[in-house]
Amino acid sequence: MAKPMTKTQLVAALADEMGEDKKTASAALDAVVAIITKEVSEGGAVTLPGVGKIYCRERPERMVRNPATGEQIKKEADKVVKMTIAKALKDSVNG
Same domain, 31 and 50: no
Among residues 93, 88, 94, which one has the least CA distance to residue 47?
88
Number of separate domains in the chain? 2
pLDDT at 17 (0 to 100): 94
What's the one-letter identity of residue 15? A
Question: CA-to-CA distance for 27 and 95, rounded, in angstroms?
Answer: 33
Stated pTM of the model: 0.78
pLDDT at 11 (0 to 100): 95
- 57 forms beta bridges with 80
Same domain, 28 and 54: no
Span 42-69, pLDDT tens digits: 999 999 999 999 999 999 999 999 999 9
Span 6-22, pLDDT tens digits: 999 999 999 999 999 99
What's the one-letter identity of residue 95? G
Mean pLDDT of 19-40: 95
Same domain, 33 and 55: no
Q: Which domain holds residue 52?
A: 45-95
Same domain, 54 and 86: yes
